[in-house]
Structure 1
Amino acid sequence: MPPTPALGTRLSLSNQLCTIAYVGPIPGTSGTWLGVEWDDPARGKHDGLHGGVRYFTCRVKGAGSFLRPGAVGLSYGRTFLSALVDKYAGGPSNGGSQEPAKEEKETVVLGSSHGLIEVEAVGMAKVRLKLGRLDRLRDASLDGEGVASAGEAGEVQLRCPNLRTLDLSKNLLPSWEVVALIVRQLEMLDSLSLNQNRFLPLTVPPAPMPSLTQLQANDTLLPWSSLPFLSSALPNLQILQMGYNRLSQLSPLPGALQEVASLNLEGNALSSWESTILALSSLPKLTRLILASNNFSHIPFPPSGSSSLPNLAYLSLASNPLSNWESISALNAWLPSLAGLSIVRTPLLSTGDVHSARSLLIGRLQSLTVLNGTPITRAERNDAERFYVSFVAREPGRAGEHPRWKELCEKHGTPAQGPKGGKGDLLAARLVMLNFAQLPKAPTPESMSSLIAAPAPAPASARMLPSMPLKQVRIKVLKTLKLPLKSRAGLWACSKADTGEGEGGGWVLEEMRGEGTELERWALREGDWLVVVLDGA
């Protein structure tokens, strides 16, 4: 324990981490107290205000409490190399022995899961023995290993010069300066994870770390205002994760993060689309943006002359409260190069027909090639755009609210005219009515004949576009039959053969495979069947 711990020093008490925010007396008691802010706010008792006196201020309300410097179980951490040797070179935990004692189980925390996912690993001692030559080590994870300092100057560079990927999540590093003392000795280091750390606020840039191209700083409470300082130290940064940092507002960062192509802002509290895009418009190379699990409920059309993200190719808006279709049309104006979009778990897709919603999304977004992980084929785009035109035509007085209406009518013709050039069918004519059923095992000619002959209520059915990819067909069938969407289910195409009741009982039965394959591959006709068989049923 330091004689007088400095403000910002990180501590661990029974594996619960905190930061010192006050050192001194409390009236009415003897001795010195440490006022701390816990990483887990649930451990706190107040926000630094005690007995009517403010001793410190917490970044997260209610996360503060007081500790004695000599509390049982209190740890001030260890050096980077001490933790690395202990984990990868058979350090003090086994006395440096060259042979692991036995095949013991060990819990390993997945670094990207915010501490939520733990797995049991067997034989980790053998892995460490194999990796015991630290000079050969390329990837290292010291997640939760109590790293607090860099140690003696130069010793990290001497022992592990070839590290390329390093995970220092959930440690006791007090500042970016200490991080830089470690990283600057690792000249080959490309990727660094610092999730679930807490750092002193930056007021000047830390020492340069030019080797880093990827940084994870999720759940660090890193303020957006610190990024200009951090950017100066990371001139080659290309991938930045700043999720779960309680960010509610972004401001422009002129000259900062000029090489960043991928930015993850998942799990924050952003709600203003216009101010967010304005702030990010200063990142000239940004092509991938994750805004999942924020508070965007509406996307307005861009004001004349406003900044956009002309090069953005992929966007995630999953788990946002978007509920109006005008936001999607506006998105098309903001992001003219958008090729991939994730918009799952939003009100837009939580009600109504999933396939219709997919078609409306594709129709409104002209450059989209992948939606919610499923590629958009040329045939699906044409069908979706025709569907969108027919949808708009139901309310002709509101065509002006749909910016692509004129363009799509020129491409496909208005619904009254039919497709341009008279070559295609109307969208409605392309829809095929199919019946759905669930069977306990793979269908046979006998089971299908029994199914259609049974005196039962009319089967579940729906009109389907031949261009629907199998992934979307499966979702549609499962939802219609009220089966869990995560069911492990085989799907069978069942159609009556042209030969009547000849060989095979007059049925053509084929299991459907290939999630990106379009429905038309199975040449189903009006009244044919899609049959679900649940695994283990």
Structure 2
Amino acid sequence: MVTPDNLRPGVTRVRDSSGFVGTVVYVGSVASAKNRNEIYAGISWDDATRGKHDGSVIDRDTNQLVRHFKCGPTQGSFLRLNKVDLGCELTPQLMRSRYVEPDAELIAPDNVLPHVARTAGGRSKPIEFHGELKIRKRQQLEVVDAISLRMLGISRPCDGGSEELREFNHLKCIDLAGNLLSDWKDVVAITKSFPSLQSLSLASNRINDVNPNLMIGTSMECLTTLNLNSTNICSFQTLRLLGEAIPNLEELCVAHCDLSDIDAEASATMSFNNLELLDMSDCQLTSWGEHIMPLSRLPKLESFVLNDNPIESISFQETADGLDFVALASLQLAGTSIHSWKSVDELDKLPALRSLRLRNTPLTSSLGVGEVRSTTIARLPRLEYFNASPVPERERTEAERRYVSDVARELLLMSTADDGGADGKKRQVETRHPRFGALMEAHKSAMMASSSVTSLSQGIQDDVVGVTIRSMAAGSCDLEPLHKRIPRSLKVGRIKAMCSRAFALDVDLQILHFRVDGDPFPTELDDDEHTLAYFGVTDGAEILVNEIDVEAREREEARRREQHDRLVEEQESHIAVVQSMQRQERQILPGQSA
């Protein structure tokens, strides 16, 4: 039986029979209730459309608006205490319920599932399932060392303690994401029940900050991986306390937590001496100097994820020992507010950096994917992966030569301009391109072989590329591919016209992609008015031509229209219900108060 003593506003998590989850934010009487002495729990649901109000009601006696708590317009509910579900404890029975018993009835006794697949012609085909018993043997809790307990409503440890869970002492990895845990005291109690635990996910549990007075002890010492994404952590002090309690931690994820209170003093006392991966995506970090540099002395940090933080610029201060991010090999900056190439140039000061993710930023939004990639590769000499795609040596050479060519043209235009300030502008250009001199020297021989180094009027002759154009369309995929040398200034629309003649494909129905050796996925050429250079098509690339399936597109559009109409109908129905309830309240309450 739930009592007011069981409920802690802002901490206790609850669920309903439909699977919706929320937080108790109020415990007490409700002004609109018939029985003013009855105690209710005010819930703010995670789904902002689950509730009926914003935490306010009309007082039955005064007919005035009374606010008990604050939330979204349709996010709040009041529940009687006998309707409150506080979740369940982590028991052996719950753990076993996730796995099939060895002697349970077979799903496919004759290697055929009780379902069928429909062919394009409308016929039914049986679905075969082989090896069910072999799979089942490998999924027994006595055999596996990793278990998923996601979204089961777990809110507290087993009442029987470690003794009742002794049979699971061998488990090394437990995923508790999406449950109802909210207190670190319960988390500590759970970890004590699994002495071999090395990896723990608590993502999407609204766990609050660690109480400095909590005795964590040694229960989490063996952890090497901890996932705290989308929790209620909002103080960097919690990370400092966890660092002291988990000295062997190698991977820590705290994405979507507000850690903007980080400072140099707090980070200086961190004990994450073995940390290799740190994910701080969307943590409201705004300043590289104030929020990121305090973490620069983590000695083993190899991978740092900073996606979706409003960081505008990057800069490093000269240090006597040069020990800032000495092991950092991978950095992710997608979705940040980086707006200048100067910040990218600063990354060259990271001695171990080999992988960079940079997209959806002000710097890259106005440039083509290929141009961003080529320029970044040229500016960072040690980069081996960019946006998860490897950088082969051939691509690096072409990118650096193109970069030198572009800067040289810019300098040439300034030298020929009749402007008294040309020398100052040249120095500004050289300052904006710190690697130009070194790259010019490195590629001097290639430049001399193609044009005069002194004139630089034509730059490096890499404006013509050799490509293979291959049709993937059903009606022409058996035709021989085209091998062409074409200028990089050629627009995608002209390529489509060429494919139309060669493969008899409608220009308006063509979809073009290109890829080079080592690319995991082709890049779409999705704008007819942009050139091959804009997309970064390089020498030796392969252009793939596909054709839109008109009938499939029409079916997809029809499905989307149907889905849209259904959503609109559901929203209108919901609005009508809410308005009807509000009208009834206005009609009933005045009469009752009289």
Same fold per superposition (TM over 0.5): yes
SS at match of 2:161: coil
User: Counterparts of 2:97 and 2:520 in 1: how far apart (Å)?
Assistant: 52
Compared with structure 1, are the counterparts of its residues 128 and 393 closer, same or farther at alpha carbon in structure 2 (3 Å cutoff)?
Answer: closer
TM-score of the pair, normalised by structure 2: 0.65
User: Counterparts of 2:135 and 2:69 in 1: how far apart (Å)?
Assistant: 43
State the Cα distance separating 1:185 from its structure 2 match: 2.0
The aligned counterpart of 2:104 is: 99
For residues 381-400 of structure 1, give each alpha carbon's deviation from its aligned partner in whole angstroms, at most 9, with x where no partner exists. Answer: 23222222222223331112
The aligned counterpart of 1:386 is: 401
The aligned counterpart of 2:200 is: 192
User: Counterparts of 1:127 and 1:62 in 2: how far apart (Å)?
Assistant: 49
Compared with structure 1, are the counterparts of its residues 444 and 179 closer, same or farther at alpha carbon in structure 2 (3 Å cutoff)?
Answer: same
Query: Is contact 2:2–2:82 with CA below 8 Å preserved after alignment?
Result: no
Compared with structure 1, are the counterparts of its residues 175 and 57 closer, same or farther at alpha carbon in structure 2 (3 Å cutoff)?
Answer: farther
Bigger shift: residues 80-89 or 431-440: 431-440
User: Counterparts of 1:54 and 1:201 in 2: how far apart (Å)?
Assistant: 27
Compared with structure 1, are the counterparts of its residues 312 and 224 closer, same or farther at alpha carbon in structure 2 (3 Å cutoff)?
Answer: farther
The aligned counterpart of 1:442 is: 477
Q: Which amino acid aligns with 1:444?
A: L
Given candidates 241, 246, 253, the residue that maps to 1:241 is 253
User: Counterparts of 1:57 and 1:155 in 2: how far apart (Å)?
Assistant: 43
User: Counterparts of 1:324 and 1:56 in 2: how far apart (Å)?
Assistant: 45
For residues 48-83 of structure 1, give each alpha carbon's deviation from its aligned partner in whole angstroms, at most 9, with x where no partner exists. Answer: 78788776688x999655322112x73432334332
The aligned counterpart of 2:180 is: 172
Query: Is contact 1:13–1:75 with CA below 8 Å preserved after alignment?
Result: no
State whether structure 2 residue 101 is matched by structure 1 residue 85. Answer: no
Query: Is contact 1:383–1:427 with CA below 8 Å preserved after alignment?
Result: no
User: Counterparts of 1:314 and 1:331 in 2: how far apart (Å)?
Assistant: 11
User: Counterparts of 1:386 and 1:169 in 2: how far apart (Å)?
Assistant: 49
User: Counterparts of 1:322 and 1:461 in 2: how far apart (Å)?
Assistant: 38
User: Counterparts of 1:419 and 1:267 in 2: how far apart (Å)?
Assistant: 48
State the Cα distance separating 1:241 from its structure 2 match: 1.1
User: Counterparts of 1:248 and 1:124 in 2: how far apart (Å)?
Assistant: 51
User: Counterparts of 1:359 and 1:216 in 2: how far apart (Å)?
Assistant: 35
Compared with structure 1, are the counterparts of its residues 142 and 535 closer, same or farther at alpha carbon in structure 2 (3 Å cutoff)?
Answer: same
Given candidates 398, 412, 428, the residue that maps to 2:460 is 428
State whether structure 2 residue 159 is matched by structure 1 residue 148. Answer: no
Given candidates 39, 42, 52, the residue that maps to 1:32 is 39
Given candidates 255, 267, 274, the residue that maps to 1:259 is 274
User: Counterparts of 1:18 and 1:347 in 2: how far apart (Å)?
Assistant: 36
Q: Which amino acid aligns with 2:186?
A: V
Q: Which amino acid aligns with 1:98?
A: D
The aligned counterpart of 1:372 is: 387
Given candidates 9, 12, 17, the residue that maps to 2:21 is 17
Compared with structure 1, are the counterparts of its residues 161 and 530 closer, same or farther at alpha carbon in structure 2 (3 Å cutoff)?
Answer: closer
Query: Is contact 1:436–1:460 with CA below 8 Å preserved after alignment?
Result: no
State whether structure 2 residue 340 is matched by structure 1 residue 324. Answer: yes
- Superposition RMSD on alpha carbons, in Å? 4.4
User: Counterparts of 1:291 and 1:194 in 2: how far apart (Å)?
Assistant: 20
Query: Is contact 1:369–1:375 with CA below 8 Å preserved after alignment?
Result: yes
The aligned counterpart of 1:532 is: 545
Structure whose residues are more often helix by fraction: 2
Query: Is contact 1:216–1:240 with CA below 8 Å preserved after alignment?
Result: yes
User: Counterparts of 2:161 and 2:467 in 1: how far apart (Å)?
Assistant: 72
State the Cα distance separating 1:236 from its structure 2 match: 1.1
Unmatched 5+ stretches in structure 1: 91-96, 107-121, 463-467, 484-516, 523-528
User: Counterparts of 2:142 and 2:469 in 1: how far apart (Å)?
Assistant: 61
Compared with structure 1, are the counterparts of its residues 102 and 368 closer, same or farther at alpha carbon in structure 2 (3 Å cutoff)?
Answer: closer
SS at match of 2:179: coil
State the Cα distance separating 1:405 from its structure 2 match: 2.6
For residues 453-508 of structure 1, give each alpha carbon's deviation from its aligned partner in whole angstroms, at most 9, with x where no partner exists. Answer: xxxx964699xxxxx9346798567346689xxxxxxxxxxxxxxxxxxxxxxxxx
Q: Which amino acid aligns with 2:104?
A: E
User: Counterparts of 2:273 and 2:161 in 1: how far apart (Å)?
Assistant: 31
SS at match of 1:315: strand
**What fraction of aligned residue pairs are identical, expressed as a percent?**
27
Compared with structure 1, are the counterparts of its residues 458 and 42 closer, same or farther at alpha carbon in structure 2 (3 Å cutoff)?
Answer: closer
Q: Which amino acid aligns with 1:228?
A: R
State the Cα distance separating 1:2 from its structure 2 match: 3.6
Unmatched 5+ stretches in structure 2: 58-63, 116-128, 412-425, 487-492, 499-514, 531-536, 551-594
Q: Which amino acid aligns with 1:17?
A: V
For residues 248-305 of structure 1, give each alpha carbon's deviation from its aligned partner in whole angstroms, at most 9, with x where no partner exists. Answer: 4533422322221101122443332332322322422211011223333x21433444
Compared with structure 1, are the counterparts of its residues 307 and 249 closer, same or farther at alpha carbon in structure 2 (3 Å cutoff)?
Answer: farther
User: Counterparts of 1:123 and 1:438 in 2: how far apart (Å)?
Assistant: 38
Given candidates 158, 161, 166, the residue that maps to 2:166 is 158
Compared with structure 1, are the counterparts of its residues 61 and 302 closer, same or farther at alpha carbon in structure 2 (3 Å cutoff)?
Answer: farther
The aligned counterpart of 2:241 is: 229
User: Counterparts of 1:21 and 1:124 in 2: how far apart (Å)?
Assistant: 50
Q: Which amino acid aligns with 2:332?
A: S
State the Cα distance separating 1:371 from its structure 2 match: 1.1
Query: Is contact 2:208–2:232 with CA below 8 Å preserved after alignment?
Result: no
Compared with structure 1, are the counterparts of its residues 250 and 102 closer, same or farther at alpha carbon in structure 2 (3 Å cutoff)?
Answer: same
SS at match of 1:192: strand
TM-score of the pair, normalised by structure 1: 0.71
State the Cα distance separating 1:179 from its structure 2 match: 1.4
Bigger shift: residues 143-152 or 401-410: 401-410
State the Cα distance separating 1:240 from its structure 2 match: 0.9
Q: Which amino acid aligns with 2:228?
A: A
Query: Is contact 1:389–1:405 with CA below 8 Å preserved after alignment?
Result: yes
Query: Is contact 2:304–2:328 with CA below 8 Å preserved after alignment?
Result: yes
State the Cα distance separating 1:163 from its structure 2 match: 0.8
User: Counterparts of 2:198 and 2:430 in 1: how far apart (Å)?
Assistant: 51
State the Cα distance separating 1:403 from its structure 2 match: 2.3
Q: Which amino acid aligns with 1:244?
A: H
Compared with structure 1, are the counterparts of its residues 233 and 127 closer, same or farther at alpha carbon in structure 2 (3 Å cutoff)?
Answer: farther
Query: Is contact 1:288–1:312 with CA below 8 Å preserved after alignment?
Result: yes
Q: Which amino acid aligns with 1:30?
A: N
State the Cα distance separating 1:430 from its structure 2 match: 3.4
User: Counterparts of 2:268 and 2:53 in 1: how far apart (Å)?
Assistant: 38
User: Counterparts of 1:127 and 1:31 in 2: how far apart (Å)?
Assistant: 56
Compared with structure 1, are the counterparts of its residues 38 and 251 closer, same or farther at alpha carbon in structure 2 (3 Å cutoff)?
Answer: farther
Compared with structure 1, are the counterparts of its residues 105 and 44 closer, same or farther at alpha carbon in structure 2 (3 Å cutoff)?
Answer: farther
Given candidates 315, 318, 326, the residue that maps to 1:310 is 326
The aligned counterpart of 1:219 is: 230
User: Counterparts of 2:74 and 2:210 in 1: how far apart (Å)?
Assistant: 23
State the Cα distance separating 1:168 from its structure 2 match: 0.7
State whether structure 2 residue 369 is matched by structure 1 residue 354. Answer: yes
State the Cα distance separating 1:167 from its structure 2 match: 0.8
Count of aligned pairs: 458
Structure 1 or 2, whichever has the larger Rg, is: 2
Compared with structure 1, are the counterparts of its residues 158 and 125 closer, same or farther at alpha carbon in structure 2 (3 Å cutoff)?
Answer: farther
Q: Which amino acid aligns with 1:181?
A: A
Compared with structure 1, are the counterparts of its residues 129 and 414 closer, same or farther at alpha carbon in structure 2 (3 Å cutoff)?
Answer: closer
SS at match of 1:383: helix
User: Counterparts of 2:205 and 2:524 in 1: how far apart (Å)?
Assistant: 45
* Within-5 A mapping of 1:398-417: 398-413=429-444
User: Counterparts of 2:223 and 2:274 in 1: how far apart (Å)?
Assistant: 12
